[in-house]
Structure 1
Amino acid sequence: MDYIIGVDVGTTSTKAVIYTLHGDIKGYSNQLYPLYQDTPDTAEEDPDEIFNATVKALTDVVSKVSGTVRAVSFSTQQHSLIALDKDHKPLTKVITWADNRAEKQATEASKSGLGMKIYNKTGLPIHPMGPVYKLMWLKKEHNDIFENANYWVGLKEYLMWRFFGQLKEETSMASATGLMNIFDMDWDDDILSWVGINRKQLPELVDPTYQLTGMDNDIAAEIGISPKTPFVMGATDGALAEIGLGAIGKGEVAVTIGTSGAVRTFVDKPQLDPKGRTYCYPVMNGKWIVGGPVNSGGIVFRWVRDNLFAPEKATAKMLGMDPYDFLTEVAKTVPAGSDGLIFQPFLGGERAPIWNGNARATFFGLTRSHTRAHMVRAALEGVVYNLYSVLLALQEAVGEPTVITATGGFARSALWRQMLADVFEHPVTIPEAFESGCLGAMVVGLISIGEADDLSVVKKFIGKQNTYQPDPSNFENYRDLLPIYLSVGRQLESEYDSIAEYQRKHPHPEDKKD
């Protein structure tokens, strides 16, 4: 039997799923790796740890079948940057999307107008996540690295170099760097000049369906596949998660909440926001993705678990209960709207829709009558409020959604799913499709090897879907609170820089370097 593998190289792990060509799942692997956060603004990973995890994930799933692997296709986290020397050895770790050290460069670009010039050419919002701003930061703060770098790549490009000894970058990933012009689909010479790098330092641009062959023989033998097996470049994790959900038609909006979150939709041509609140990147076959990612997803729930309910976390584990399930039960004891307690969920800066790396979290409206249970529910609601504010910005560009599909770790929680439907005042569909990023990558792989004509084939693989209807009894609470949530954020914005600067000058002991 023939098989195809979809790989999703994420922020915390690499997942691999091996499928038959008809979409039947025959094996799954999830390999974890650490995120290094030595300071509050740092978020790095070791590229070789991720490579080893990817090899292990592939080895695991290949061992579960007997037959021929026709292709391996990749979904990979966006906005990463690695400096390589002349021998393609890393001079830096992977500077991830979550790294905030280029905040000053992004702020300066915003004030000078350079940021909007870059946005209007590339679709990349003004934020330190962007590799273009990371390059400006390295040039300013680590000029020795900047001057000694022979190549600049992202994580996917480095992995492909390790596998094949070739430097290629597909256009979907390149568009998220802030260096590629989305209208001519080429590296932008003006931006390269502004940053101080040249084309020879960047990979060759290729399509998402481009195949790499001729893998290193030893690596192929370790995985258990032929070195002739094509690796399909694939696309960004956001785009492929959207495809894996089947949200590929006009007006079909996908909401994901994992560690972080996003609201996205496909369009047929580039659509930029005059206010720069949403990104716009090409995907493939005349499809463009418009949307907004948020830092504040499941990581907020984890913070509540570890910091507000640490004793209960241990007790829940002793009782054989998932601590998140316990917290969900706690949140259910509080009515919609948390009796007027609002949480701004910006624990680590924020991307869409405010694009402010210095944003900080806030409980607003706290009174003596509020309890930790209120704080749990308010935190969950704050994440959904923020996603709704992204949807509002997205609607200005593409209109009202016809379908809202949601996925991610949050989808385990019936409370959170219902909360999404209630705040959005729209039915929310939850597909049972497994690992949407891997599935999206697999679909691109099928197209690449000629086993599918277009993205619509994904509809065959989605499987059962459950739809949550909004509860009208909760509308009034959320309608009253959402304007307050938005207003509080606007009024606090002028103080985000001040408090962030204070925190950098007086870091918490756990945030200091060893």
Structure 2
Amino acid sequence: MTTYMIGTDLGTTSTKSVLYDQFGRVVASANVGYPLYHDQPDMAEEDPAEIWAAVVKTIQTVSQSVDTQQIAGISFSAAMHSVILLDENRQPLTRVITWADNRAAAVAAKLKREPLGQQLYEATGTPIHPMSPLVKLHWLKRAQPETFAAARYVVGIKDYIIERLSGQLQTDYSMANATGLFNLHTKTWEPRALAFAGVTEQQLPPLVDTNAVIDGLTPAVAAHLGLPAGVKLIMGASDGALSNLGVGADQPGIAAITIGTSGAVRVMTDRPYLDPNGRLFCYYVTANHWIVGGPINNGGQVFRWVRDQLYPTESAAAKAAKRDPYDDLTALAAQVPAGAHGLLFHPYLSGERAPLWNADARGSMLGITPTTTRADMARAVLEGISMNLNTVLTLTKNAEPVHAVRATGGFARSAFWCQLLADVLGQPLTIPVSFESSCLAAAVLGFQALGIVTNLDVIHQMIGTTHTYQPQAHNQARYQQLQATFDHITATLTPLYAELAALTRSEK
């Protein structure tokens, strides 16, 4: 008899659920979006009720495709670094404060200058940055003291959703590791971090492993979803950890790159690795599996900005002709050679996490001349995003030498961008045909947790068709030249970012 698993990924702007059989074949999928709220400068919040509605809708949609009695479980992936304060009845006192929220930037900058900052990084593996719940909570206690004082529980989005489904509150090591509150060496909450954040261990969910199983939905939720009450819930892990598994980048020497709204570079290791300068994260996946890498703020959202702000007329025309505007933009970029005629773009529109860890970072385009064209600009933007990722990849090689890269995310639909990225990285770039790597890995983790598959290695048989882009020698040589200049300019501009950010704030 066929057994099914739902992999549900709680993303920054949408929730995806994919129904798989035990052989990793996709039976059905659903995706429901929701807004990111920017009510004030540096805010980036979500409504937990909207995310809950998206979870319900996607699970209901995919489960209709099969006999629900054959659905063994639901396993979860989620974006990292979120915070929700709950009252004593486990009702939200706040919206979901996401990784993209920068309101704690001053707190992060101050902590980074103090010895405690490096000590907490060495204990937790989470870089000091406003993305981290460690820093968000410290800021929240001072910015919203009444709300903070009323909080009985402090959770992330995955903890909240699983509690609504099951009535049980707990968190897994992988998600906990990204909070900055979790000691990666002892797998317990870190007392120095809790003291800085202003929370107690009793306010945080109990810690469990990523393959922990919750036995069943609440009767009311089961009826609402149209599922048997006995459907198991598997805790799962963070989207970054699962994305590595989902693209087969769980072996030594293979890096994973994701470019969606934001982006990330990750390698899998069999031991924790901490960057001496605190520039890389180190997060738990499963026993003897850790991911080391760096997240970037500025991935596909930068190309969306280009589409909307620099090419609105062309984008409108493409939409009217029922073409994808991004296809037109990449076709424009393809008209000029590697290096965009000396134009260099630094993509720090939303501050930056890796490699800078600087919330004040700002975007720039250098090398503009009277002969610079709009095609040059389009190509320079794609090259800038790619070179920034290459800077992060170079750092991860200190943890694990890399000989190949697997990539996923919305960018992978563009053959031009894939080839450009392979040329910039100077590494073979393999793209799975299925883009939902986190959902697949969550499902396989669920199957393993329930004993339906013996180990996670079976995912290599499930990934399916892939396409590999080999770096082109001429372009690769050109990008090696440009990369050195790109990094030199970054270092030169970094001391000026605080001044630029101060000018922006003074206008508000």
* Superposed displacement of residue 394, structure 1: 0.8
| Alpha-carbon displacement from aligned partner over 1:49-83 (angstroms, at most 9, x marks no partner) | 10110010000000111241101100011000011
| 8 Å CA contact retained: 2:138, 2:196 | no
Match of 2:51 in 1: 50
Match of 1:172 in 2: 174
1:307 aligned onto 2:336: no
| 8 Å CA contact retained: 1:277, 1:353 | yes
Using the alignment, how far apart are the partners of 1:249 and 1:479 within structure 2?
Answer: 26
Match of 1:234 in 2: 236
Match of 2:38 in 1: 37
Match of 1:9 in 2: 10
| Alpha-carbon displacement from aligned partner over 1:30-51 (angstroms, at most 9, x marks no partner) | 0111100123311000011101
* Superposed displacement of residue 426, structure 1: 1.4
Q: Which amino acid aligns with 2:75?
A: S
Q: After the TM superposition, which parts of structure 1 deviate over 4 Å for at least 4 consecutive aligned residues?
A: none
| 8 Å CA contact retained: 1:433, 1:461 | no
SS of residue paired to 2:12: coil
- Is there any run of 5+ residues in structure 2 with no aligned partner, and where? none
Q: Which amino acid aligns with 2:99?
A: W
Match of 1:321 in 2: 323
* Superposed displacement of residue 402, structure 1: 2.2
For residues 361-380 of structure 1, what are the structure 2 equivalents within 5 Å?
Answer: 361-380=363-382
* Superposed displacement of residue 294, structure 1: 0.5
Q: Which amino acid aligns with 2:20?
A: Y
Using the alignment, how far apart are the partners of 1:344 and 1:193 within structure 2?
Answer: 37
* Superposed displacement of residue 182, structure 1: 0.4
Using the alignment, how far apart are the partners of 1:195 and 1:468 within structure 2?
Answer: 45
| 8 Å CA contact retained: 1:124, 1:130 | yes
Greater shift in the superposed pair: 137-146 or 101-110 = 137-146
Match of 1:157 in 2: 159
* Superposed displacement of residue 285, structure 1: 2.4
Using the alignment, how far apart are the partners of 1:186 and 1:196 within structure 2?
Answer: 17
* Superposed displacement of residue 206, structure 1: 0.5
SS of residue paired to 1:104: helix
Match of 1:489 in 2: 490
1:63 aligned onto 2:90: no
Using the alignment, how far apart are the partners of 1:494 and 1:403 within structure 2?
Answer: 34
1:422 aligned onto 2:423: yes
Using the alignment, how far apart are the partners of 1:238 and 1:442 within structure 2?
Answer: 15
* Superposed displacement of residue 474, structure 1: 1.1
- Is there any run of 5+ residues in structure 1 with no aligned partner, and where? 508-514
Using the alignment, how far apart are the partners of 2:476 and 2:34 within structure 1?
Answer: 41
| 8 Å CA contact retained: 1:181, 1:187 | yes
* Superposed displacement of residue 434, structure 1: 4.0
Using the alignment, how far apart are the partners of 2:148 and 2:45 within structure 1?
Answer: 17
Q: Which amino acid aligns with 2:406?
A: T
For residues 77-156 of structure 1, what are the structure 2 equivalents within 5 Å?
Answer: 77-156=79-158
Using the alignment, how far apart are the partners of 2:455 and 2:271 within structure 1?
Answer: 17
Aligned length: 506
Using the alignment, how far apart are the partners of 1:369 and 1:39 within structure 2?
Answer: 39
Q: Which amino acid aligns with 2:487?
A: L
Match of 1:251 in 2: 253
For residues 178-217 of structure 1, what are the structure 2 equivalents within 5 Å?
Answer: 178-217=180-219
SS of residue paired to 1:379: helix
Match of 2:461 in 1: 460
Match of 2:359 in 1: 357
For residues 269-348 of structure 1, what are the structure 2 equivalents within 5 Å?
Answer: 269-348=271-350
Using the alignment, how far apart are the partners of 1:287 and 1:214 within structure 2?
Answer: 28
Using the alignment, how far apart are the partners of 2:442 and 2:367 within structure 1?
Answer: 44
Using the alignment, how far apart are the partners of 1:112 and 1:232 within structure 2?
Answer: 39
| Alpha-carbon displacement from aligned partner over 1:129-162 (angstroms, at most 9, x marks no partner) | 0000001111222222222211110000111111
Q: Which amino acid aligns with 2:94?
A: T
Using the alignment, how far apart are the partners of 1:295 and 1:304 within structure 2?
Answer: 15
Using the alignment, how far apart are the partners of 1:380 and 1:408 within structure 2?
Answer: 15
Match of 1:219 in 2: 221
SS of residue paired to 2:381: helix
Greater shift in the superposed pair: 67-76 or 302-311 = 67-76
Using the alignment, how far apart are the partners of 1:189 and 1:114 within structure 2?
Answer: 12
1:73 to 72, 75, 78: 75
* Superposed displacement of residue 396, structure 1: 2.0
Q: Which amino acid aligns with 1:289?
A: I
Root-mean-square deviation (Å): 1.1
Using the alignment, how far apart are the partners of 2:31 and 2:135 within structure 1?
Answer: 31
